[in-house]
A and B are shown apart, each in its own frame.
Chain A
Amino acid sequence: MRAITREFAPGFRVSSGAHLLHLFDGDIRKDLELDRHGLSEARSDLKTVALAADGQHLVIAGDSVSGGDISEQDKARLKEYRRFMSRFARVIGKMHNQVPPRIASGQRSDLFALTRLALKIRLLGKSDMREFLRIAGINIYDVLQESFDNELLKGALSLDGVLGNHLGPRSNNSVFSTLHRMSGNNTGGFALPKGGMGAVSDALAAAAQKLGVEIRTGCVVRQINMAGDRVSGVTLEGGEALSAATVISNADPKTTFLDLLGTRHIEAGFAQKIHHIRARGNAAKLHLALSDLPDFKGVAADQLGERLVIAPDMDYVERAFNHAKYGEYSPAPVAEITIPSIHDPALAPAGQHVLSAVVQYAPLELKQGWGEAKAAFTNKVMDLLGRYAPDIRQKTLKAEVLTPQDIENEFRMTGGHWHHGEMTLDHFLMLRPVPGAAQYATPVNGLFLCGAGAHPGGGVMGSAGRNAATVVLNHPAASNGPNNGGGK
């Protein structure tokens, strides 16, 4: 997803896209020496505070939970839950750094990679392997229902399965999306980079420039040019043409193939697969410029800087999702809230603060259109926050909401979707973004993908870019991708 920091009110800066760093690949960070280029955490290992309207919130730190009326039994169960979930997440995480293998491609290397994958699962041991195969395809609602009694705890944990996706806790696939969210190999847990997420991009840019990469900003690509059967470069909005034998697109697959390239250059079956990529965003961003710290009921001052979530119980989350199915926004949404200025005062004028929240569900296409609805939705969100922090309206100097539609328009990201496409089993590994382009090379000679739409997906990981680079380097000629078309 987008890693940038921008000023939305005089003196107030916020990560206007992703607002937490938790999946970024530790190896990339080392290889590119990002720390030397200025990347550092203002705070890592954020705890999760599951807000309760009555102030009886829960504090979840890794595999331990306290507060509210949490039972000893649930405390013990959380340890077990975290144990097997992180084991399974590691299996998925192991796949992040590899080019997805093809099935039945007839190539020994693919067969080898698949066998390795099977072996990783086998090495979980009999009982964990069975549990993995049992739950990998189902929904987080049932799994949490099996494990816990505490509604607030279940609500908060279920949120990880649905953030950024068109899923409710009861939707199958939400176990997988939960695992994906836990699958990073960085040890920092949820972290806030100093200077906001933009700092990550700045560090990457600095590293790239040091290696001689020329970066041009403010130039929108109008189209990807073809010369015969291969790409020859790009043309900018200004009309200026840049030529290169290899074009690597970090734009989402739909934008890349349908807008920039044009379907006439690709085979019909493949074009259809691209059309079918599900990328309807549901996550809105809320940014508040605050005159002072809001007073969240029952939340101690030293807890305000943690990751605050509003998901009172799983049925609440599911009901919020119901509306998204029918092109309505949730009248009672769920939210993941951070107040980064607590750890990084530079983000706001002295004594003042910024609040950044991911709010669901706000579907890309609203039946009545986003027009006036946006103001109404913003109101609902403020009401929601007001229920937990009654004084938040008075302390709000400016409120900004970015709906998926705003995100689509501002960042030219189809559907305004976090991951450039649903993070579900039918869009994973050799199926991401679609068979035929899942190995970063595409059916179009010289054209490659390196964005969140490619394996292993979004979440500010860096892995897709790194994997794509290895592929590009491995066939410089870049004639026919590893899988030519995959069309019928």
Chain B
Amino acid sequence: MVKKYDAIVIGAGHNGLTNGAYLAQAGLNVLMVEKNEYIGGATVSRELHKDWIYSNCSYVCSLLRPEVYRSLNLAKYGLQVVPFDGSVTIAESGDYFGHYIDHDVSRREMARHSQRDSDASVHFDRDIMRQCRFIRQFLLRTAPDPASFKPRDLFEMLHLGKEMFKLGEDVIYDMMRFYTMSIADYLDEYFENPLIKAAMAGSGIIGSAMGVMSPGTAYVLLHHAMGDVDGNMGAWGFARGGMGAIAKAMGGCFEDHGGEIVAGSGVDQIIVKNGKVTGVALDNGNEYYADVVVSNMTFPRTFLECMDEKDLEPEFIRKVRNFKIRGSSGKLNIALDGLPDFTALRGNKELMTSDIHLINSVERLERAYDDWKDGTWSQDPYIDLLIPTLTDPTMAPPGKHYMSVFVQYVPPKVHGKEWTDEQRDQFGETVMNQIEAYAPGFKDLVLHVEVRTPRELENETGLTEGNIFQGELTMDQLLFNRPIPGYAQYRGPLRGLYMCGSSNHPGGSVMAAPGANAAREILRDLRKPNTVPEGWLDD
């Protein structure tokens, strides 16, 4: 006999877990299916080298919505977020630019490079903060459809407009420019020092398939500024025990409310019977049934790999094919025998614990992108590395360390062809040599390395083309355009089919907002009491 569930969630990543947890909280009988043996998707801690815990995909926590953290009671299920201090950008020259949580210290450090920039930073921070405060209120809201005449959409459009008008004329103009300019041009309006500009420009291209000089990169900065840890806006933290701790806590909440998880076999097909979904068939042959199926997979994976073309409109399929989800980043996870010695940071314990960037000019960043456009990984890559074990010793044996190295740019394919293992290792070498140049002797400390190109990332997590945001964050794929116009309210083209992944508004990063928003829409359709926080609870 087959048991029928109220809802089946495909993919136990942080959004799937969030979605399932809210549905379970509302009293639904929810099944979560996960292709890997473990839950978390890209929000995961893994022991790939004995006694070392890697956050081997996502690696820091800041954007996780506090409303979700609270309403799912994640603390109770064991999640601790430990803030870490600022960031540092190291130049080839050996000089560095540190950014500290303490505002005054930061300004003094800036003044060391440029008094003018130090003064400008006051205006810069204010302007960015304004944009953050504006955008944050729309993260936990379903985007209105501007092409619809439904009262709800009209009302939401009106609300959006009202909130914007509240900003006042000058700020609105700044916003219009902020969303259409390149991060390089935007920074030029405030700063003069190349190192300071390089330090800030990096935030505009993380995970994106654009260069710092591409218009539309300025606002990506928000993804690094709008988060918070314990209410400190812009602060960053580590999940104690690695990012997997977040998934674990969400899973705990989910199961605590009666949710079931079946891990170890992926979805082969989403079953459709006369125009509505009725369940899923797994690779291992098992079938599960429910009137509601929620996909946390990427937009293309859901419809091109797990559904039958004949169940979908050709025009819809064409649009899915055109969805932009190009991978651009890679990752190295490294087990270290001891602490690497960054020449520039000698005797600077504080900055060692921070987010370390190896870059010193906007031009180098842009040239790294040119390599990606030509279909190869950057020969002079942008590196963003962290040593979490300095903040959270539980991830490696005493005295040893774990280093997380995020790298840009890395193409999903090399000159249009699949990655080979040789190429992957060459890419790894490129990165290792780069780090060695800033921290002599680094290579001798290396005990184990996991090198991940977009290929590895896709194979493990199912992120199409290894795009970490489940789809690029460009104007054509934001707000009511995400993933595509007309389907930006978490409902698929078939009855009972929903989407809760980062392919949907408000997009990627471990934010859990898409999962939460999708749950709200589902409960709305099922006429169940809403368990999902809406809008803007803090600030």
Interface size on A, residues (CB 8 A): 39
Name which of B6-14, B47-55, B211-219, B378-386 contacts chain A. Answer: B211-219
- Residues in A with CB closer than 8 Å to B485 are 130-131, 133-134
Nearest CB on A from B77, distance (A):
40
Within 8 A of A (CB), among B159-217: 164-165, 167-170, 172-173, 176-177, 180-181, 185, 188-189, 210, 213-216
Contact of A426 among B176, B214, B480, B481 (CB under 8 A): B176
- CB of B363 within 8 A of CB of A171, answer no
- CB of A129 within 8 A of CB of B147, answer yes
Complex Cα distance A56/B322, Å?
29
Within 8 A of A (CB), among B335-365: 363
- Residues in B with CB closer than 8 Å to A171 are 213-215
- Residues in B with CB closer than 8 Å to A134 are 476, 481, 484-485
Asked whether any CB of chain A lies closer than 8 Å to the CB of B146, the reply is: yes
Contact of B363 among A102, A136, A138, A326 (CB under 8 A): A326
- Residues in A with CB closer than 8 Å to B480 are 133
Contact of B165 among A104, A170, A278, A435 (CB under 8 A): A104
Q: Which of B173, B213, B366 has most A Cβ within 10 Å?
A: B173
Asked whether any CB of chain A lies closer than 8 Å to the CB of B474, the reply is: yes
- CB of B180 within 8 A of CB of A105, answer no
Q: Which of B147, B180, B214, B215 has most A Cβ within 10 Å?
A: B215
- Residues in A with CB closer than 8 Å to B164 are 104
Complex Cα distance A105/B170, Å?
10
- CB of B170 within 8 A of CB of A138, answer no
Nearest CB on A from B183, distance (A):
12
Contact of A138 among B188, B366, B476 (CB under 8 A): B476
Complex Cα distance A318/B369, Å?
12
- Residues in B with CB closer than 8 Å to A487 are 170
Instruction: Using known A-B contacts A129-B146, A135-B476, A486-B170, determine if residue A426 contacts B213 with beta carbons closer than 8 Å.
Output: no
Complex Cα distance A480/B366, Å?
43
- CB of B474 within 8 A of CB of A138, answer yes
- CB of A137 within 8 A of CB of B213, answer no
Which residue of chain A has the shortest Cβ distance to B172 in the bound complex? Answer: A103
Asked whether any CB of chain B lies closer than 8 Å to the CB of A205, the reply is: no
Asked whether any CB of chain A lies closer than 8 Å to the CB of B324, the reply is: yes
Contact of B215 among A104, A136, A172 (CB under 8 A): A172
Within 8 A of B (CB), among A151-196: 167, 170-173
Complex Cα distance A486/B363, Å?
32
Instruction: Using known A-B contacts A105-B169, A278-B185, A424-B180, determine if residue A325 contacts B475 with beta carbons closer than 8 Å.
Output: no
Nearest CB on A from B157, distance (A):
9
- CB of A137 within 8 A of CB of B475, answer yes
Complex Cα distance A426/B363, Å?
22
Asked whether any CB of chain B lies closer than 8 Å to the CB of A334, the reply is: no
Asked whether any CB of chain B lies closer than 8 Å to the CB of A32, the reply is: no
Asked whether any CB of chain A lies closer than 8 Å to the CB of B370, the reply is: yes
Asked whether any CB of chain B lies closer than 8 Å to the CB of A126, the reply is: yes
- CB of A430 within 8 A of CB of B173, answer yes
Nearest CB on A from B528, distance (A):
30
- Residues in B with CB closer than 8 Å to A322 are 370
- CB of B169 within 8 A of CB of A104, answer yes
- CB of B180 within 8 A of CB of A172, answer yes
- CB of A435 within 8 A of CB of B180, answer no
Asked whether any CB of chain A lies closer than 8 Å to the CB of B492, the reply is: no
- Residues in A with CB closer than 8 Å to B169 are 102-105, 435, 483, 486
Within 8 A of A (CB), among B91-150: 146-147
- Residues in B with CB closer than 8 Å to A102 are 169
- Residues in B with CB closer than 8 Å to A483 are 169
Which residue of chain A has the shortest Cβ distance to B218 in the bound complex? Answer: A426
- CB of A103 within 8 A of CB of B173, answer yes
- Residues in A with CB closer than 8 Å to B27 are none
Complex Cα distance A486/B180, Å?
20
Nearest CB on B from A421, distance (A):
13
- Residues in A with CB closer than 8 Å to B167 are 104
Complex Cα distance A435/B370, Å?
34
Asked whether any CB of chain A lies closer than 8 Å to the CB of B393, the reply is: no
- CB of B366 within 8 A of CB of A325, answer yes
Complex Cα distance A488/B210, Å?
32
Complex Cα distance A36/B370, Å?
52
Complex Cα distance A167/B485, Å?
26
Asked whether any CB of chain B lies closer than 8 Å to the CB of A410, the reply is: no
- Residues in B with CB closer than 8 Å to A475 are none
Complex Cα distance A424/B366, Å?
20
Asked whether any CB of chain A lies closer than 8 Å to the CB of B493, the reply is: no
Contact of B476 among A126, A137, A424 (CB under 8 A): A137
Asked whether any CB of chain B lies closer than 8 Å to the CB of A4, the reply is: no
Complex Cα distance A171/B366, Å?
12
- Residues in A with CB closer than 8 Å to B185 are 278
Asked whether any CB of chain B lies closer than 8 Å to the CB of A431, the reply is: yes
Contact of A130 among B370, B474, B486 (CB under 8 A): B486
Asked whether any CB of chain B lies closer than 8 Å to the CB of A276, the reply is: yes
Complex Cα distance A98/B176, Å?
20
Instruction: Using known A-B contacts A130-B147, A318-B373, determine if residue A276 contacts B189 with beta carbons closer than 8 Å.
Output: yes
- Residues in B with CB closer than 8 Å to A137 are 180, 216, 474-476
Within 8 A of B (CB), among A79-134: 102-105, 126, 129-131, 133-134
- Residues in B with CB closer than 8 Å to A272 are 189
Nearest CB on B from A290, distance (A):
37
Complex Cα distance A102/B214, Å?
27
- Residues in A with CB closer than 8 Å to B476 are 134-135, 137-138, 142
Complex Cα distance A86/B56, Å?
48
Complex Cα distance A272/B485, Å?
38
- CB of A172 within 8 A of CB of B214, answer yes
- Residues in A with CB closer than 8 Å to B370 are 322
Which residue of chain A has the shortest Cβ distance to B367 in the bound complex? Answer: A326
- Residues in B with CB closer than 8 Å to A486 are 169-170, 173
Complex Cα distance A430/B486, Å?
29
Complex Cα distance A70/B475, Å?
31
Nearest CB on A from B210, distance (A):
8
- CB of B170 within 8 A of CB of A488, answer yes
Nearest CB on B from A361, distance (A):
13
Complex Cα distance A164/B198, Å?
28
Contact of A431 among B173, B189, B322, B474 (CB under 8 A): B173
Nearest CB on B from A304, distance (A):
34
Instruction: Using known A-B contacts A170-B373, A425-B180, determine if residue A133 contacts B481 with beta carbons closer than 8 Å.
Output: yes
- CB of B172 within 8 A of CB of A104, answer yes
Instruction: Using known A-B contacts A103-B173, A104-B169, determine if residue A126 contacts B475 with beta carbons closer than 8 Å.
Output: no
Instruction: Using known A-B contacts A103-B169, A103-B172, A172-B215, determine if residue A426 contacts B147 with beta carbons closer than 8 Å.
Output: no
Asked whether any CB of chain B lies closer than 8 Å to the CB of A372, the reply is: no
- Residues in B with CB closer than 8 Å to A126 are 147
Asked whether any CB of chain B lies closer than 8 Å to the CB of A146, the reply is: yes
Complex Cα distance A105/B480, Å?
26
- Residues in B with CB closer than 8 Å to A103 are 165, 169, 172-173
- Residues in B with CB closer than 8 Å to A488 are 170
Contact of B170 among A131, A133, A142, A435 (CB under 8 A): A435
Complex Cα distance A136/B481, Å?
12
Complex Cα distance A134/B363, Å?
30
Complex Cα distance A278/B188, Å?
11
Which residue of chain A has the shortest Cβ distance to B217 in the bound complex? Answer: A172
12 interchain pairs, CB-CB under 8 A:
A103-B172, A104-B169, A126-B147, A137-B474, A138-B474, A170-B373, A322-B370, A325-B363, A326-B363, A326-B366, A425-B176, A430-B173
A-B interface, 8 closest residue pairs, ranked by CB to CB distance from nearest = A137-B475, A130-B485, A172-B216, A425-B180, A426-B177, A435-B173, A172-B215, A426-B180
Additional A-B contacts beyond A130-B147, A137-B180, A138-B216 (20; CB < 8 A):
A104-B172, A126-B147, A133-B485, A134-B476, A171-B213, A171-B214, A172-B474, A173-B180, A276-B189, A326-B367, A424-B180, A425-B215, A426-B177, A426-B180, A426-B181, A431-B173, A431-B176, A435-B173, A487-B170, A488-B170
List residues of B whose CB falls within 8 A of some A CB. Answer: 146-147, 164-165, 167-170, 172-173, 176-177, 180-181, 185, 188-189, 210, 213-216, 322, 324, 363, 366-367, 370, 373, 474-476, 480-481, 484-486
